[in-house]
Structure formats: structure tokens, C-alpha cells
Amino acid sequence: MATMKQVAERAGVSTSTVSHVINNTRKVSAEVRERVLGIIAETRYIPSAVARSLKNDRTHTIGMMVPNSSNPYFAELIQGIEDAAFKLSYNIILCNAYDDPVKQAAYLRVLLEKRIDGLILVASGADATLAELLSTASVPMVLVDREVAGVEADFIESNHEEGGYLATRYLVELGHRRIACVSGPADLQPSRDRVAGYLQALREADIAFDPACLVHSDFTSEGGFNAFRQLLQLPTPPTAIFASNDLMAIGGICAAAEAKVRVPEDLSVIGYDDIALASYSTPRLTTMSQPKYAMGELITQLLLARIARTGGEHLPLRRELLHTTLVERQSTAPPRSH
Amino acid sequence: MATMKQVAERAGVSTSTVSHVINNTRKVSAEVRERVLGIIAETRYIPSAVARSLKNDRTHTIGMMVPNSSNPYFAELIQGIEDAAFKLSYNIILCNAYDDPVKQAAYLRVLLEKRIDGLILVASGADATLAELLSTASVPMVLVDREVAGVEADFIESNHEEGGYLATRYLVELGHRRIACVSGPADLQPSRDRVAGYLQALREADIAFDPACLVHSDFTSEGGFNAFRQLLQLPTPPTAIFASNDLMAIGGICAAAEAKVRVPEDLSVIGYDDIALASYSTPRLTTMSQPKYAMGELITQLLLARIARTGGEHLPLRRELLHTTLVERQSTAPPRSH
DNA sequence: CTGTTAGCGCATTCAT
DNA sequence: ATGAATGCGCTAACAG
């Protein structure tokens, strides 16, 4: 691989001049510029971002830590971020923590060594070690969906409580009175928020909350499958279920089908996230749509704004709560008795 | 951020010694080692991989270019690769080319500047520019699913033709005679291979191929939805459809449901890929499973083997064709008339 | 308009 | 067992 020095020699100029024609950073005579450009093409010279980064203290690389990039919600979020980042000349290093704080810490360490310009973190666990590591790292950072105790950083999420509320209220308005909820892991704040919204909607409708109607699962299709099966075996099964994400809703619908429970005739199901497949599952899934693409763009913008100010005056901490919107499709309907 | 030099000064030793305690690369007295380690902890020193890379000419970073990381097939493949790479201390820079050769070229350029140690490429388009860029780049590389004319590199894919054949033969064995195929884009070799397998199975069963039964789509749920609708409106609709990927199969099943065509009673559907959601779609999807995780591991191993030999003797070019396996679930059954 | 030079942070060779 | 010195490839004062 050719180096700038070699290019300079062959062009009969200094590396300084070569550098400037590459970066358009100072006036260079047309003649010299052409000559240099010619040699660059001829030698297929490609500047080293590594060397440049060492000099500039900027890698134009962002670390993205998620629990699981195969989960369609994260996959779509990542894609939005990657897209926005590309437009701004940043690359993404993808890290799957699998909800393992140890693995997450190991990754963080590597990212810090690689001198990422910024970090987008959907935290797995929130042990003290993480807060410790993060606060001493002092890398520009934005937290998504999950806050980390003791870490001050921009934070973005959709309004989970509102989402849970709207989903449940929609079911109530359809005429349902026995409404169950399949929640995500109880130790995740977004899960709890969505449940809070669910309870709030129930309360407003004067529907007594039956603890048997709330089951905690794990945000996977399989988990949803099992949770629905359990709910459908209740003495008085629900006529509607709010699933805390689309994966569980889809798995749940599968369980309903196997139990000969028709959706939406016998059971209404509403999901959360609005992943791409929700539009084409059978039946098409009614769901609370999270603005994933907008989130991706906003996250990237916030992070880059913070990166731009590194060392400068402190930007005020931002906390963004995005709205979710109801997408009515075919998995919900008024209850049978109506 | 502390530097090695600062650590050295505070510990009263040379940077050389600090470097050696960090890398365990030569004997250091216990006393000095402890002192250095103490200062490192105290100053929260984190070595710079950037500087190290400049020196070593290795970034421990791999570029991964895919058409679309939200497609569950790629998402799961990426995860397998990312997993395997992590174990071997490599990170992944994720790039979405969106089937746009221009965007792909732009990304490639950046990856080359960042001096990635290797490239995993699921090529979008294969114009001459790409071959040109790639061959002069001389970065260790493995191609996945799509070959690039004029580029010699390791190549990995599943045996698409065999997969298409097995899927179709399975439908034949179930008793179907009118079997349609929803293919991926005609300009993609894997699409063509799967179709070839489909045709082969038809031929073996002495079933005349009806061109109306082969429709080309785009590997998306929406595309599958439209393709199925078209097929179901045929004067003599098929009793079974082989969809070239799960996304299209799932979208197609949605179309069938809306046309009051029951799966599998009225229509058998078999997909391809075996994405995670296939197990929990309604009905559970019968499909040809691609060994995504194994592919991810193999890809990573091949690439790292090649990276290790950089500059050394040439490793023979490898061409790996992995087997797909039939996963029988609930979207297929004998035809009604049986 | 162009060149010289120093230094980014580290690994490593050569001394001692 | 340790240190001094060099250079990886580049950018950016500074000088002319």
C-alpha cells in the first residue's frame, strides 16, 4: 500500500502539499494538483484513516451496543442509525451484549481502546461497574431505552407508558373488559412503563386489575407463545391481550391458533414496536408503532452534536420522549359478545 | 485521557517498560510491574488501539457489507459473524449498501481508509468498478452468497439449488402437482439457483413447468404478498408454493388469508432461510433452513485464516457450499384432493 | 504557492 | 531487567 510520502516523492513535492490537495485545505497550483492527483490514481494510494486519527484525535467511528441485533426492533433501529451516521461520514461498530454485563464491559473496553468518537448504548444490566466504567470514560454518549444509574448522558426513548396506555385504551374502546398483558422482563424500565400505562387505562375504564392477567415474559416469540398459552388456559380467559412487543404478539397469535382461538374474532391482540413483519403477519398485526427511523436520526444527531462540542462548553443534558402511534390492522376487533 | 508516556513518568520507568507490562511481552520485575499497574489503574489509562494499529498495521477490525441488515436472514448472519469475531478479538463495522453499487463503493473506500483487516462482502450489484476496486484493494476478503465477476476470493453460500430442489421435491412427495415458485430478483445468482432446483424437481416428477407459475419478486414480505396474490388469481391456482425466502412466504400467507385461502389446507407454503420468526408465524412455517450460525462461524474462520497469512504464502481459494435442511412445520400438507 | 519539521501514542530494536 | 531512540502515516504550525 502506497504512503503519502511515496506519492510526494514521485510527484516531486512535499508530503505537506500532497496532504493539502487531498484535503483541499490550502491553495495548490492547478499544475501541481493535477500531477499529485495523477500519481495518487496511478499508485492507487488510499490515505490511512488510522494515521489521520492518531493525529486528529477523531476516528469518525461510533460504537453501538445493543442486547441483540437480531431482534427486529433493534435491527431496524440500528439501520436507522447506521444510515444517518453514513450521511455524516461516521461508521458504526456493532456490539451484541446479549444482556451480559460482563460481555458488555469487555466490549466497552475495546471500544474505548479503539477511541470511538461516541457511544450509543442500550444497556444490558446496570451494575455499578458499568456506571464506573462509563463515567471515567467520558466519551460522548447517548443512552437509548434504558437509563444507567449514576451516568449522566442524553437519553432517548419512546413514551412507553403512553404507548401502553394507548394500546390498552384502544382495546377498552373496542369493548373489551377482560384484557391481559404480556409484559417484557420485569427488571427493564420500558417493560414496567408499558405495564403502568396498561394499568392506568384499566383504572380509567373502571376495570379491576386481575393479577392473573399480567404475565411477564422475555420479548421473544417463544416467550410470547408460552405466555399466551398460559393466559388462554385461565378459567376466564381474556378477550384481548396487549403484548409488550411484536415478537411476543406474533408468537402469541401462533399459540392462539394452536388452541383454536381465532384472532381477532375470539381474541384481540395488539403488539408494540411495529416491526416490518407486523404488516404481513397473519393476521396483520395491530400495534403501537415506535418511530424507529426518527429515533435513529435523532440519536445520531444528538450524539454528533455532543461530539462536536467535545472539550467545549457543556451542552445541556437532553431527554427525549418520542410519541408512539397506534397502527390499526387486523388483529383487533370488538369482543364476540358485542 | 492519559498516555503511556504519562504513566511511565509517574511510575518512574520508561515507556518501553510500561508497554511490556501491558502486553506481557518481556520480563519485568514484580515490583516494577505492580507499580506500573497501580499507576495505570490510578490514571485510568486506556491504551490507544489507534496508535497501536499504526505501528502494527493491524486494526483488529473487519468490514461487513450487506444489502440490508434489517432483513432477518442477514441480521442473523451478522450476529453469527459478530459473535465469532468477538471471540477472536475482532470488531465489526457494519455497512448497509441497500443494493446500491454507488453507496457500496463509497463504503468500501472508507473501510479501506480505515484499514480494516478483512472484508466480508455480500455484494450489491457487481459492476466492473467493484471488481476493479476490490482487486486493487488486496484486502483479505470472503464473499458470501454473491460472487463478483473478476474477483478471486473465498466464497461461501448454502447450496441454493439443492435447497430449491429439496423444497420442491418435498411438495411433490406430499402429492402436489401444481406447484408455483416465488423467486427472488432474477439478477441474483442465489435466486436463479433456487429456481433451477425447483425446475429440476419438477422435471424429475414429470410435471410440466408452467411459466405462469414462476413469478419473480424482491425478497420482501410485501413482494411476497403481491406475488402470492397474483398466483392465487390464476385460472388454475397452485396448490403449493415454494417461496424463495421466509419473508416472502410470510407475506404470501398473509395474502392467502385475505383471499380466504387456507394454509395448509388449500395451499401449502414452504419458505427458505428459517429465520427465527418462522417457528412462530401462523401457521408455523415449513422452510429450508440455512445454517446461518455455522456460516457465520465458517466465514469468520476463513477470513481470519487469510488475514493471518497476509504477505505469506497464498492460501488456496476456498469455495464452501453448505447444506440446507428441511424443517417441517405447519404450512405444508397434502393437497385437498388427496 | 510550497517545503520543513514536529509530534500524535505506541511497539520494538538495540544498548546497557 | 530496563531504557533510549526510531518510525508507523499523517496534519499543521511555521517559515520562506
| Distance to chain B for A88, nearest Cα, Å | 12
Q: Do A282 and B92 touch (CB under 8 A)?
A: no
Q: Nearest nt (C1') to A52 (CA)?
A: D10
Do residue A79 and residue A24 come from a single domain?
A: no
Which residues in chain A have their CB less than 8 angstroms from residue B115's CB?
Answer: 48-50
Residue B338 has pLDDT above 70, yes or no: no
CATH number at residue B182: 3.40.50.2300
H-run or E-run covering A333: none
Q: Name the residue closest to C13, CA to C1'.
A: B16
Q: Nearest chain B Cα to A276, which residue?
A: B221
Average pLDDT of every residue of chain B? 95
Q: Nearest nt (C1') to B20 (CA)?
A: C11
Q: Nearest nt (C1') to B29 (CA)?
A: D1
Do residue B141 and residue B25 come from a single domain?
A: no
Say how many domains are in chain B.
Answer: 3
Nearest Cα to B137, choosing from B109, B167, B164? B109
| H-only helix segments in chain B | 4-11, 15-23, 30-43, 49-56, 72-87, 101-113, 128-137, 160-173, 189-204, 221-232, 246-258, 292-308
Do residue A140 and residue A211 come from a single domain?
A: no
In the structure, how far is the CA atom of residue B57 from the C1' atom of nucleotide C12, in angstroms? 14
Within an 8 Å CB–CB cutoff, is residue A78 touching chain B? yes
Mean pLDDT, residues B194-201 taken together: 98
| Distance to chain A for B41, nearest Cα, Å | 11
Q: How far apart are CA A286 and CA A334, in angstroms?
A: 13
Other C-beta atoms lying within 10 Å of the C-beta of residue B338: 9
Q: What is the pLDDT of residues B120-169, one digit of tens each?
A: 999 998 777 888 888 888 899 999 999 998 898 999 999 999 999 999 99
Does B311 reside within a domain?
A: yes
Residue with cell 471471540: B87
In the structure, how far is the CA atom of residue B5 from the C1' atom of nucleotide D11, in angstroms? 21
Q: How far apart are CA A287 and CA A324, in angstroms?
A: 10
Within an 8 Å CB–CB cutoff, is residue A250 touching chain B? yes
H-run or E-run covering A51: helix A49-56
Mean pLDDT, residues A246-270 taken together: 98
Q: Which residues contact A124 (CB under 8 A, 6 or more apart)?
A: A65, A67, A97, A98, A99, A100, A101, A103, A104
Q: In what order do the strands lie in the sheet with B141-144?
A: A319-322, A154-158, A141-144, A118-121, A61-66, A91-96, B91-96, B61-66, B118-121, B141-144, B154-158, B319-322
Q: Nearest nt (C1') to B36 (CA)?
A: D2
Residue with cell 510491574: B33
Residue A313 has pLDDT above 70, yes or no: no
Q: How far apart are CA B272 and CA A152, in angstroms?
A: 46
In the structure, how far is the CA atom of residue A9 from the C1' atom of nucleotide C4, in angstroms? 15
Interface probe, candidates A52, A60, A114, A221, chain B, greatest B C-beta count within 10 A: A114
Q: How far apart are CA A227 and CA A185, in angstroms?
A: 12
Residue A338 has pLDDT above 60, yes or no: no
Q: Which nucleotides of C are covered by protein (CB under 7 A)?
A: 1-5, 7-13
CB B62 within 8 A of CB B118: yes
Do residue A126 and residue A194 come from a single domain?
A: no
CB A319 within 8 A of CB A154: yes
Nearest Cα to A110, choosing from A97, A99, A122? A97
Do residue B232 and residue B256 come from a single domain?
A: yes
Which of B76, B95, B283 shows the shortest C-beta gap to A257?
Answer: B283
Q: What is the pLDDT of residues B237-262, one digit of tens each?
A: 999 999 999 999 999 999 999 999 99
Q: Do B107 and A86 touch (CB under 8 A)?
A: yes
The end-to-end CA distance of chain B, in Å, is 74
Which residues in chain A have their CB less than 8 angstroms from residue B254's CB?
Answer: 280-284
Range in A289-293, A307-311, B227-231, B240-244 with the lowest mean pLDDT: A307-311
Do residue B267 and residue B180 come from a single domain?
A: yes
A contact residues 144-203, partner B, Cβ 8 Å cutoff: none
Which residues in chain A have their CB less than 8 angstroms from residue B61's CB?
Answer: 93, 114
Domain span at residue B40 reads: 4-47
Q: Which amino acid is at A142?
A: V
CB A325 within 8 A of CB A270: no
Within an 8 Å CB–CB cutoff, is residue B46 touching chain A? yes
Does B108 reside within a domain?
A: yes
Within an 8 Å CB–CB cutoff, is residue B209 touching chain A? no
Which of B136, B253, B281 shows the shortest C-beta gap to A254?
Answer: B281
Do residue A138 and residue A182 come from a single domain?
A: no
Report phi then psi at A243, rounded to 5. -95, 140
Of B266, B290, B314, the domain-final residue: B290
Does B319 reside within a domain?
A: yes
Do residue B260 and residue B167 come from a single domain?
A: yes
CB A270 within 8 A of CB A179: no
Other C-beta atoms lying within 10 Å of the C-beta of residue A243: 33
Does B330 reside within a domain?
A: no
Q: Nearest nt (C1') to A20 (CA)?
A: D11
Q: How far apart are CA B38 and CA B51, in angstroms?
A: 23
Strand B286-289, strand B325-327: pairing: antiparallel
Do residue B233 and residue B129 come from a single domain?
A: no
**Which pLDDT score, from 0 to 100, does residue A312 have?**
62
Q: Do B112 and A46 touch (CB under 8 A)?
A: yes
Does B52 reside within a domain?
A: no
Q: Name the residue closest to D5, CA to C1'.
A: B16
Q: How far apart are CA A125 and CA A148, in angstroms?
A: 8
Cis before B67 (ω within 30): no
User: At A131, is the pLDDT very low, low, confident or very high (cuts 50, 70, 90)?
Assistant: confident
The whole model's pTM is what? 0.96
**Which pLDDT score, from 0 to 100, does residue B137 have?**
83
Q: What is the pLDDT of residues A204-247, one digit of tens each?
A: 999 999 999 999 999 999 999 999 999 999 999 999 999 999 99
Within an 8 Å CB–CB cutoff, is residue B222 touching chain A? yes
Q: Do A50 and B54 touch (CB under 8 A)?
A: yes
Helix axes A4-11, A15-23, angle to 10 degrees: 110
Does B117 reside within a domain?
A: yes
**Which pLDDT score, from 0 to 100, does residue A128 have?**
78
Does B338 reside within a domain?
A: no
Which residues in chain A have their CB less than 8 angstroms from residue B281's CB?
Answer: 250, 254, 281-282
Do residue B254 and residue B298 come from a single domain?
A: no
Strand B61-66, strand B118-121: pairing: parallel
Which of B50, B69, B78 shows the shortest C-beta gap to A59?
Answer: B50
**Which pLDDT score, from 0 to 100, does residue B135 have?**
84
Residue B193 has pLDDT above 70, yes or no: yes
CB B65 within 8 A of CB B120: yes
Mean pLDDT, residues A188-208 taken together: 97
**Which pLDDT score, from 0 to 100, does residue B312 have?**
62
Do residue B165 and residue B309 come from a single domain?
A: no
Does B329 reside within a domain?
A: no
Q: Name the residue closest to D11, CA to C1'.
A: A55
Report phi then psi at A30, rounded to 5. -55, -40
Strand B214-216, strand B268-273: pairing: unpaired
Q: What are the C-alpha distances in Å from A284 to residues A251, A291, A324, B220, B257?
A: 13, 19, 18, 15, 10
Q: Name the residue closest to C12, CA to C1'.
A: B16
Q: Nearest nt (C1') to B3 (CA)?
A: C9
Q: How far apart are CA A259 and CA A253, in angstroms?
A: 10
Which residues in chain B have their CB less than 8 angstroms from residue A99's CB?
Answer: none
Q: Which residues contact A110 (CB under 8 A, 6 or more apart)?
A: B49, B89, B91
CB B79 within 8 A of CB A144: no
Mean pLDDT, residues A172-186 taken together: 97
Other C-beta atoms lying within 10 Å of the C-beta of residue A5: 11
Do residue A267 and residue A299 come from a single domain?
A: no
Which residues in chain A have their CB less than 8 angstroms from residue B68's CB?
Answer: 79
Q: Do A222 and B284 touch (CB under 8 A)?
A: no
Taking all atoms of strand D, which protein residues have CB closer than 7 Å? A 1, 3-5, 15-16, 19, 22-23, 25, 47-48, 51-52, 54-56; B 12-17, 26-29, 31-32, 51, 54-55, 57
CB A183 within 8 A of CB A244: yes
In the structure, how far is the CA atom of residue A40 from the C1' atom of nucleotide C1, in angstroms? 21
Other C-beta atoms lying within 10 Å of the C-beta of residue B53: 23
Mean pLDDT, residues A108-116 taken together: 97
Other C-beta atoms lying within 10 Å of the C-beta of residue A336: 12
CB B154 within 8 A of CB B188: no
Q: Nearest chain B Cα to A226, which residue?
A: B280
Q: Do A113 and B53 touch (CB under 8 A)?
A: no
